[in-house]
Structure 1
Amino acid sequence: MAKDRYVAYVGTYTHGSSVGIHIFDVDAEKGKMVERKVVPINNPSDVIVSTSGKFLYSIADEGVQSFRILPDGDLEPINSVWTGGMRGCYLEVDEQDRYLFVAGYHDGRITMMNLNEDGFIGEIADGIFHKGIGVNITDRSSMPHVTCVKVTPDQQSVCAVDSGLDQVKIYRIDRERNKMELEDILRCELDSGPKMLRFDRQHKFAYVLCEMDNVIEVYEVGARNDDVDPFKMIQRISTIEPDEKQRAAASGIEFSPDGNHLFVTNAGINTVIIYDVDKETGVLTPLFHCKTSGDYPKAVAVMPDNKHFIVLSHETDEIFIYNMNYEDCYFLQDSRPIKIEQPNCIFIHKL
């Protein structure tokens, strides 16, 4: 019986020697990645594969770029479209592949782009600039900065994480009018710097990673009605030790494919912390944390075997693969680092 085939798409900043999206063949059983080719594109700082698995969308200096995914995982360019604002930083698609959502760090904008069935990115459906100003206790910008966009599990709304305002704005998706309408705001701790949001595999809980506070805020996601708040905070847990706060910045967050564990990277102190996930309550329990190789572990991804995980060390231009031992609470570097200039994002795709 043939085993499943996977590729990994790694986006980079291309103002150095890198030229675009690096395609790797992935051996999930052995925890290995072998680079096959690079597809030219300007600064693909985030990439995402459509729900259908047929297309890949990427951030680009020009806006957003679409590609057709060929049977071997290679990418064939389709079209490029401006997003109506400054260069984006994060992408999301809905389950119907009807919309592509773009987060704008530089201009504090969330953009909703129309998608066609043939993979072409259509015109802008809607776009909203966040307004206001946050606090500036630490040395960081408190202007609006949208760092992540995630569609809610019921597909009714999209969450826009704003690190400058310390908020997660929730917009209802009006598919009849192709509009987004603000319906709720999650107000995180002041100066916490929310950066990323993930929903658990069972779609019952939301996890907001706060970069400045180095914490994860856990929310129970309930039914939407006038009497019940659909997002109820149930836990706030640190990603670091108390004496590490001045040197650390929570950076990446991802679930293991089986949903049993949550992985978080901490830049500055260069660590990964792994949590056990209680699937019934959503509560996180720290399993262990450990130092990683390289500098600035910006993103993390867990391979389909649930045992190997990948860390992109942005500042030292390397990809590291680690082998997890959950029972004895340690991980080991599984192979030599892969050299790649300024890796920024990774998406593992099953062919």
Structure 2
Amino acid sequence: MAEQGAVRAFIGSFTSAGGRGVVAAAVDPETGALTETGATDAVADPSFLALAPAADGRPVLYAVSETEDGAVAAFDAAGPVPRPLGAPAPVRGSGPTHLCVAAGHVLTADYTSGSVSVLPLAADGSPRPATDVLRHAGAGPVTDRQSGPHAHQVLPDPTGRWIVSVDLGTDSVRVCALDPATGLLKPHRETALRAGTGPRHLAFHPAGTHAYVLNELAPTVTVCRWDAAEGVLEPLGETAVLPEGAAEPSYPSEIVVAADGRFAWAAVRGDDSIAVLALSPTGDAAELVTTVPCGGHWPRDLTLDPAARRLYAANERSGDVTWFDLDPGTGVPTRAGAFLAPAASCVIFA
């Protein structure tokens, strides 16, 4: 059993590329350093992770299995090594890349099949058979990447009323309502972004009034107004996450927003950098301040630690997780250390 109050990290990785599956680590509160406590390869290619408590309060770790068949796995996360809670459950979609827990269900964004799957959770936190698979429709102008829908992220809005899915293939963000009694998704609205941008992930402002959509095919962030009462996302403008003359091609992967809403950070693969964005006091605009090296190669994920003092980057191709101390005044990260993690794809904290 982990020491009460201790911070722990879980790292997902691609087993098909030499990763060890899910790695658990203790986090030094003073330095941010990671020390492994155990690992499990019980599920193939656990590329994205999420944590949520079971009905009895035990921490449960969820992982997508980013495979052709597509599955989601649950682990008891209370001990030093995550322990599988039964067999992975099929998502009835292909290539899930992201997942979240909302209203007693786990939802996955299935990239290859362009769908969002809904699986109810048992009392112990394990996923049960899917109750709904919402298939997106559409395409974009970048023919080799947007010949059809590619759902890349799914998450609840800050109020928990809406489920938001980001689709790289259709250049759009969909808003749905989840019925917790039936496990069915009801489409509410679809917001079109600039054609060819390839939206990948979004993050909400802590005030809940704006959202920032990170685009993979055009290295920009689309700043949006979010109306939680009506479930409406309204694009306001785009901001580059790379300076002129930066390495090309580059593919942004993840965006996180500071707890106080002053800054956002974006990981950019290819340029292998972290962009620092200053947000306006109201959250309706973003400005690129600077970029810093990510400390490795191909940063697939970027995460704030629970105290919001450090950033952690999962560098897939260099096989490590690097962490950065954040200047509280400028938001600029300074590299502070690294942890070996072959084919790293995701970092989360408990």
Same-fold status (TM-score > 0.5)? yes
Match of 1:109 among 110, 115, 131: 115
Match of 1:121 in 2: 127
Match of 1:161 among 157, 161, 166: 166
Q: Which amino acid is 1:111 matched to? A: S
Q: Which amino acid is 1:270 matched to? A: D
TM-score normalised according to structure 1 size:
0.89
Output the CA distance in 2 between the equivalents of 1:243 and 1:332: 23
Contact 2:58–2:76 at 8 Å: present in 1 too? no
2:20 paired with 1:19: yes
- Per-residue deviation at 1:308? 2.0
Output the CA distance in 1 between the equivalents of 2:263 and 2:248: 26
Match of 2:105 among 99, 107, 130: 99
Contact 2:39–2:81 at 8 Å: present in 1 too? no
2:78 paired with 1:77: no
Output the CA distance in 2 between the equivalents of 1:32 and 1:191: 39
Write out aligned runs for 1:36-55 (5 A): 36-41=37-42, 42-50=44-52, 54-55=59-60
- What's the secondary structure of 1:341's corresponding residue? coil
Output the aligned Cα RMSD.
2.3
Match of 1:131 among 133, 137, 144: 137
Output the CA distance in 2 between the equivalents of 1:223 and 1:246: 37
Q: Which amino acid is 2:347 matched to? A: I
* Identity within the alignment, %: 18
Q: Structure 1: give runs of 5+ residues left out of the alignment.
A: none
Q: Which amino acid is 1:157 matched to? A: W
Aligned residues: 340
Output the CA distance in 2 between the equivalents of 1:196 and 1:75: 27
TM-score normalised according to structure 2 size:
0.89
Question: Are residues 325 and 141 of structure 1, via their aligned partners in 2, closer, same or farther at CA, if it must alter by over 3 Å?
Answer: same
Question: Are residues 147 and 26 of structure 1, via their aligned partners in 2, closer, same or farther at CA, if it must alter by over 3 Å?
Answer: same
Deviations 1:123-142 (A, max 9, x none): 211102222322126x5343
2:36 paired with 1:35: yes
Contact 1:49–1:57 at 8 Å: present in 2 too? yes
Match of 2:76 in 1: 68
- Per-residue deviation at 1:66? 0.8
- Per-residue deviation at 1:260? 3.4
- Per-residue deviation at 1:34? 1.1
- What's the secondary structure of 1:253's corresponding residue? strand
Output the CA distance in 2 between the equivalents of 1:194 and 1:53: 34
- Per-residue deviation at 1:249? 1.4
- Per-residue deviation at 1:223? 4.3
Match of 2:258 in 1: 256
Write out aligned runs for 1:210-249 (5 A): 210-225=215-230, 230-244=232-246, 246-249=248-251
Match of 2:96 among 74, 88, 112: 88
